[in-house]
Chain A
Amino acid sequence: MLRLLLLLSFFAASATAGESQIFLKDRPGKNQVVAQCAMCHSLDYITEHAPIPDRAGWEKTVAKMINSMGAPINDADKQIIIDYLAQNYGK
């Protein structure tokens, strides 16, 4: 409950209330995607790209996030995230 209140107060402060309305597909791997990707950006970065990258494209994107953007994602989570994105938001 406390976490939820903190969440709402954050949204009120930064005016991104709509961000809580973005829901990713409820499939295996979603928890890792939300935990890792949403640290730095809203999840509409995923839905915005939904039909564009194929598996190789999502591999490239996730590698860019780790190698160029400095996302601290370990190899196990990296694979889960790529699988989730390719299966649910790939071409």
Chain B
Amino acid sequence: MVDRRHFIKKTAGSLAALGGLALLQRSGLAAATRTEASTIIERLPSKEALIKKTYRPPNYETPIHYFDTPFTPNNRFFVRYHNAVIPEVKTSEWRLRIGGDAARTPLELSLEQLRRDFEQVDIAALCLCSGNRRGAFQPPVPGIQWGSGAMGNALWRGVRLKDVLAGAGIDKSALEVSLAGADSGVHKTTPDFVKSLPLAKALDENTLIAFEMNGEPLPHWNGFPARLIIPGWTATYWIKHLTALNVISKPFDGYWMKTAYRIPKDRFPSGQFSSQETAADMPITEIVVNSLITSPADGQTLPNAKSIEINGVAWDGGNGIARVDVSTDGGSNWQQATLKQDYGRFSWRQWHWVFEPKRPGACRIMARATSHSGASQPLEPIPNPSGYHHNAVQKITLHLA
């Protein structure tokens, strides 16, 4: 499954590095206390420069000026891990194991079998971190202080999860399907990043095991050789380097379901994942309606004499975007933007709006998306303990000169 030698080398290397790191921190080098720049642009192997949030586990977001194409290029796609041991999976050794107490015939598939034995399908879908824009919550909420770039839109190719599960035979006692990948913590005591899905979502025809992204094999940092695509749900379920699926008859009770990635029930719609709900809270599931102005940049100075094109993207959890309205006067008046090509209800939708500036000075631009279900963005984000679902109407300021 995993290149063992590489794995061991990497683990041993990281342990040796700890000694070294401690040594370096104690040495004279550490005497000059550095204040970290708020934005560090770094390059992971095979990636273009992205905004570094943390080095290890690697968490990098995409600068928003890269969101100017319908599909986010693989080498600009954001990276998000919970645990630091991330083996480079060898295709020939990779196996997907399907089992669990509610699977009748456990089975194991190679990548070749996965590609050959099931119908291949394509879907355009937005991969969006639950905590995207957490850094904009006031008061601040603990967790990675993401800007707006912990997301990306891609065309995924893979096979339906329901077809693969059918091969193992689903017992009528089945309640959830648990999902695990090859990455893990440094200590054995660290909980593996394992998630689960309600059976209905696992059997949804849009839920895929993908091995291609924008016409190329998945990049290592985005889950090579295969990952889950759960269109309309936040990326916490989109397990990378997928290795195990278990069809189970009881609610999965791991840390990443029972404790993490939960939202209060009184503030968000419930009922998507009833086997994991308590009286007070529930797992985050569907993406909420949202939009982002991708150009011009906040704070930019532009000539007052020329027309200005406002560009952006809008998305939701699968109803599709009905309209985007733009205000150029701080929210008093709104005009309907033009929506660009529709790539399907799980894809984000690009939009644009051109306006003629009337007078010099500061100009407040806002954008508000409405989905086909009629849901629209609030003016303030909905507070919640972990800082998820930030979908307040965005405001940027342009200086007209």
Chain A contact residues, CB within 8 Å of chain B: 3-4, 6-11, 13-16, 18-26, 30-31, 34-35, 38-42, 44-45, 47-49, 51-53, 57, 61, 68-72
Contacts and interface: CB of A to CB of B under 8 A. Distances in A.
Interface of B: 9-10, 13-14, 16-26, 29-34, 36, 40, 42-45, 52-58, 84, 140-142, 144-145, 185-191, 255, 259
B57 A41 contact: yes
A70 B22 contact: no
Contacts of B20: 3-4, 6-8, 10
Contacts of A70: 185, 187-191
B250 to A, nearest CB: 21
Contacts of B10: 13-14
6 closest residue pairs by CB, A with B:
A7-B20, A70-B189, A10-B17, A42-B55, A6-B16, A42-B56
A10 B34 CA distance: 23
Contact of A26 (B33, B84, B189): B33
Contacts of A23: 25, 29-30, 32-34
Contacts of A69: 185, 189-191
Nearest to A34: B25
Contacts of A13: 9-10, 13
A3 to B, nearest CB: 5
Contacts of A31: 22, 25-26
Contacts of A51: 140
26 contacts: A3-B16, A4-B20, A8-B20, A9-B13, A10-B13, A13-B10, A14-B56, A15-B43, A18-B40, A21-B34, A23-B29, A23-B30, A31-B22, A34-B25, A38-B21, A40-B84, A40-B185, A40-B186, A41-B54, A42-B55, A48-B54, A48-B145, A68-B259, A69-B185, A69-B191, A70-B185
Contacts of A3: 16, 19-20, 23
A71 B188 CA distance: 10
For B25, B43, B188, the residue with the greatest tally of chain A CB atoms inside 10 Å of its CB is B25
Contacts of B56: 14, 16, 19, 41-42
Contact of A53 (B16, B19, B142, B185): B142
A52 B135 CA distance: 11
Nearest to A6: B16
Contacts of B33: 23, 25-26
Nearest to A19: B55
A45 B81 CA distance: 13
A31 B259 CA distance: 31
Given A68-B191, A71-B189, 13 more contacts: A6-B13, A7-B17, A7-B20, A14-B14, A14-B56, A15-B43, A18-B55, A31-B22, A41-B54, A44-B55, A45-B54, A53-B142, A69-B185
B319 to A, nearest CB: 34
A49 B20 CA distance: 24
Contacts of B57: 41
A45 to B, nearest CB: 6
A52 B54 CA distance: 16
A67 B43 CA distance: 34
A84 B24 CA distance: 19
Contacts of B186: 39-40
Contact of B22 (A8, A35, A40, A48): A35
Contacts of A14: 10, 13-14, 56
